[in-house]
Each structure stands twice: as structure tokens, then as C-alpha cells.
């Protein structure tokens, strides 16, 4: 596995070794020993599957006071995955990174606690599998407004498909942070 630190140093892109032959391919999406050596000492308690059609934008979500670390991978399709640092004392507070994840290049993205996460589906459809380090608590879910000008995220889409909660997210300046 190749471990790559991103411009937000706590966010890690994992590229597994892929073994291909005439039948298809095989790779390890999770290996506790390798992940621990990379500084990811997570205990996953829930695995989720998200399906979205093209131009669906989900996010930017996080939980407080029950934060979740997330390990994300795309099984089918392609997404623009976005992560925003919502740790107020962090030197990278309010900064974001974007990683394109797709089924063409199996990769996983590790997002520890303290970051808001979202994605835009850029293929006709996308299936995303992700594991989390704490259970989903609906009352703890927080939503950072996807198009807050303070974030400077170039979504390059005028009218994404959004849930009501994502349409009504909170500006970074008023956000409950860590």
C-alpha cells in the first residue's frame, strides 16, 4: 500500500496494491497493521453504503459531540471528495482539499475526527462504501454550508441535487467547531 499525506496533513490517501489477472482484480482495502504504521489507529464500528446519481452533492457533514473518523472508498463510479478542517485551533482551520475517487483507481481516503466531509457525484451514478469510528447520532450531525464563500470551494456546478439539510447548512463563521 502507498500512503500519501495530503495538504491537510491529517487527511491520508491510501492506494492499495492491486493484483489483476484475466478474472479481474483483488486488493486489500483495509489492513490494520499497515494503517497503524501510517498513524491510523481507528476502530471502526459501522460500515455504510451510499448511492448517488450524477450531480448529487452530499455534505459537508460532521458530528459533534460524537465525532466520527471516516474511511471512504468508491466501489462504482466517480466523485469529487471534499474535506474541510473544522478544528478552530488548527492552523488549517477552514481550509479544504479535494480528492477525486473512482472505481478506475482503487483508493481510500482517511478523514479523522474534526473534519467536515462531502462529495459531488461526477459519474452517472456512484456507490461509496465508508467505515466510521463512531455510530451515527442524528442529533449530533452538523452541516457546513456547501457553498459558503469563506470556503472558496470551486464546485463548478450551478444547481446540484441537494437534501434540505444540505441546502440549509451553517456558514463557517457560525459553525459549532472543535
| Residue 117 bears catalytic tag | no
Residue in 19, 25, 130, 136 annotated catalytic: 130
Which residue in this structure is represented by grid cell 456546478?
157
Confidence of residue 177 (pLDDT cuts 50, 70, 90): confident
| Peptide bond before residue 87 is cis, with ω within 30 degrees of 0 | no
Model-level pTM greater than 0.75? Answer: yes
Read off the pLDDT of residues 45-96 as tens digits, 9 standing for 90 and up.
Answer: 999 999 999 999 999 999 999 999 999 999 999 999 999 999 999 999 999 9
Mean pLDDT of the region 143-161: 97
- What integer pLDDT is reported at residue 121 of this predicted model? 98
- What integer pLDDT is reported at residue 155 of this predicted model? 96
Residue numbers of the domain that contains 105: 2-174
> What total number of domains does the chain contain?
1
Read off the pLDDT of residues 102-118 as tens digits, 9 standing for 90 and up.
Answer: 999 999 999 999 999 99
71: β partners: 110, 131
Using DSSP, state whether 13 is helix, strand or coil: strand
Mean pLDDT of the region 37-51: 95
Residue 153 has pLDDT above 90, yes or no: yes
Contact assessment for residue 68 and residue 132, using Cβ atoms and an 8 Å cutoff: yes
Beta strands in the chain (DSSP E): 2-5, 12-15, 19-21, 24-26, 46-53, 57-63, 70-76, 78-85, 96-102, 108-111, 115-121, 125-132, 141-143
The whole-chain average pLDDT of the chain stands at: 96
**Containing H/E element for 167?**
helix 164-167
- What integer pLDDT is reported at residue 150 of this predicted model? 97
| Residue 35 bears catalytic tag | no
Read off the pLDDT of residues 4-26 as tens digits, 9 standing for 90 and up.
Answer: 999 998 999 999 999 999 999 99
Residue in 61, 62, 96, 117 annotated catalytic: 61
| Peptide bond before residue 76 is cis, with ω within 30 degrees of 0 | no
Residue 132 has pLDDT above 90, yes or no: yes
Q: What CATH number does residue 164 fall under?
A: 2.60.120.10
Query: How far apart, in whole angstroms, are the C-alpha atoms of residue 70 and residue 112?
Result: 6
User: Euclidean distance between the first and final Cα of the chain, in Å?
Assistant: 31
Amino acid at each position: 500500500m502507498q500512503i500519501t499525506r495530503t495538504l491537510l496533513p491529517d487527511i491520508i490517501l491510501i492506494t492499495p496494491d492491486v493484483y489483476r489477472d484475466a478474472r479481474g482484480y483483488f486488493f486489500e482495502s483495509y489492513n490494520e497493521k499497515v494503517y497503524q504504521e501510517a498513524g491510523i489507529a481507528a476502530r471502526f464500528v459501522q460500515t455504510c453504503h451510499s448511492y448517488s446519481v450524477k450531480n448529487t452533492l452530499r455534505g459537508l457533514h460532521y458530528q459533534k459531540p460524537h465525532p466520527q473518523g471516516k474511511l471512504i472508498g468508491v466501489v462504482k463510479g466517480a466523485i469529487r471528495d471534499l474535506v474541510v478542517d473544522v478544528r478552530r485551533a488548527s492552523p488549517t482551520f477552514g481550509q479544504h482539499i479535494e480528492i477525486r475517487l473512482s472505481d478506475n483507481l482503487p483508493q481510500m481516503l482517511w478523514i479523522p475526527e474534526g473534519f467536515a466531509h462531502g462529495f459531488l457525484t461526477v459519474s452517472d451514478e456512484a456507490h461509496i462504501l465508508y467505515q466510521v469510528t463512531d455510530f451515527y447520532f442524528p442529533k449530533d450531525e452538523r452541516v457546513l454550508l456547501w457553498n459558503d464563500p469563506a470556503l472558496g470551494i470551486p464546485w463548478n456546478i450551478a444547481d446540484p441535487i441537494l437534501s434540505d439539510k444540505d441546502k440549509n447548512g451553517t456558514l463557517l463563521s457560525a459553525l459549532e467547531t472543535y
